Amino acid sequence: MASASLISRLPQVRGSYKENAPLAPLTWFRVGGAADVLYMPADADDLAVFLAGCPADVPLTVVGVGSNLLVRDGGIEGVVIRLGSGFTFIEREGDTRLRAGCAVPDIALAKAALDAGLTGLEFYRGIPGALGGALRMNAGAYGRETKDVLVEAEAVTRAGEKVTLSNADFGYSYRHSDVSPDLIFTSALFEVAKGDKAEIAARMDEITSSREGSQPIRSRTGGSTFKNPGGTNPDGPKAWKLIDAAGGRGLKRGGAQVSEQHCNFLINTGDATAADLEGLGEDVRARVKEASGIELEWEIKRIGRTAADAEGQAA
Ligand SMILES: Cc1cc2nc3c(=O)[nH]c(=O)nc-3n(C[C@H](O)[C@H](O)[C@H](O)COP(=O)(O)OP(=O)(O)OC[C@H]3O[C@@H](n4cnc5c(N)ncnc54)[C@H](O)[C@@H]3O)c2cc1C
């Protein structure tokens, strides 16, 4: 579908539309094609107007800050929705609750909790996504996950209806939520506890230095590529160990490489395509299957069209 004809079919909104919008700069891997249309809602009401008025045949994809995304080289058909400044508020509710918009970076929420002397969100200090992605992925680290701190979240349905979801509605498991993929989360309420600022700060510093030492956090990466087959069980099999044992450390394909530092991370060394990265991930899966019999499951979300699919659509 040509983006010019698509945009004329979309409802009038207060937010912004951009045709043929490059998505690579919006992801950590810095690869991938363009969105037919990128829509940035002004706020939750604007998003609801958009969803109510958007024709049902238009594919919709929501993205956060792209720290867990591999956008394929042919870009994304339809409208890509990205929350912006209308979703960056953080408010205290009572003594021990924080409500935040879903474009708030996890790290900013951790910092706000520290400033308010509230404990429980320190683990977000090491996760470079925003809260919408954290809700969808059940983001977690150091023994805590989003499901341990979430009370409820506000979302908008494909039909433009605003709904409230309880923690139980998310059907959380390891790095996964069962909630409908059509829902767009707009804000979330977290349960925290009063704590000692110095202790909270010390815990966050510990997390920062542990990350710096063990992960290629300054590289173009998507974080952990595959889920640990043992989930959150500390004694279960770890993806990185299986990859290492299968000879995957440092493996390359085009401009993509398995990190030497942490071999469950894929890296764009400079000129990788999304096809290089996805192909390398599949090479790794095949090696691990061959060596251990275990089939690794992608944690990174791979979305959009391949370059060949996009050419086929244009022809
Ligand atoms: C260096 C590095 C370290 C990382 N470490 C960790 C870690 O320790 N623990 C961990 O859990 N993850 C980690 N990650 C992965 C990633 O940061 C998390 O999965 C994060 O929660 C993704 O958030 P995001 O905003 O980047 O979402 P995106 O990557 O943009 O999207 C991820 C998914 O969330 C959906 N989504 C995003 N926003 C919304 C919304 N508003 N409503 C509905 N769905 C939405 C998208 O459709 C997509 O399916 C790491 C990534 C990197 C690059």
Best probe residue, ligand 1, of 61, 67, 208 (max atoms within 8 Å of C-beta): 67
Output the six-digit token pair for 123.
């683990």
Question: What's the confidence (pLDDT) of residue 215?
Answer: 81
The rounded Å distance from CA 77 to ligand 1 centre is 21
- CB 101 near ligand 1, within 6 Å: no
Helices 197-214, 106-115: axis angle to 10 degrees equals 150
CATH number of the domain at 3-85, please? 3.30.43.10
Question: What's the confidence (pLDDT) of residue 309?
Answer: 86
Closest C-alpha residue for ligand 1 atom 4? 223
Task: Answer yes or no: CATH 3.30.465.10 is held by domain 87-195.
Answer: yes
Q: What is the pLDDT of residues 147-204, one digit of tens each?
A: 999 999 999 999 999 999 999 999 999 999 999 999 999 999 999 999 999 999 999 9
By CB atoms closer than 10 A (0-12, 13-18, 19+), residue 312 is exposed
Q: What is the pLDDT of residues 17-44, one digit of tens each?
A: 999 999 999 999 999 999 999 999 999 9
Which strand (E) or helix (H) includes residue 100? strand 97-101
Across all residues in the chain, what is the average pLDDT?
95
- CB 23 near ligand 1, within 6 Å: no
| Annotated active-site residue in 72, 259, 299, 305 | 299
Q: Residue 261: what are its φ and ψ, rounded to 5°?
A: -75, -45
Is it the case that residue 3 has pLDDT exceeding 60? no
In the chain, pLDDT over 90 holds for what percent of residues?
89
Output the six-digit token pair for 197.
């600022």
Confidence of residue 116 (pLDDT cuts 50, 70, 90): very high
Closest C-alpha residue for ligand 1 atom 13? 127
Annotation says 295 is catalytic: no
Cα–Cα dist 14/7, whole Å: 14
The rounded Å distance from CA 68 to ligand 1 centre is 4
Output the six-digit token pair for 21.
């919008």
Does this chain's domain 3-85 share its CATH topology with 217-303? no
- CB 264 near ligand 1, within 6 Å: no
Question: What's the confidence (pLDDT) of residue 1?
Answer: 47
- Give residue limits of the domains in the chain: 3-85, 87-195, 217-303
Query: For the chain, first and last CA: distance in Å?
Result: 11
Output the six-digit token pair for 178.
């069962």
Q: What is the pLDDT of residues 58-70, one digit of tens each?
A: 999 999 999 999 9
Architecture of domain 217-303: Alpha-Beta Complex (3.90)
Let me know: does 305 contact 261? Beta carbons within 8 Å: no
Is it the case that residue 126 has pLDDT exceeding 70? yes
Q: What is the pLDDT of residues 205-246, one digit of tens each?
A: 999 988 887 788 888 999 999 999 988 787 889 999 999 999
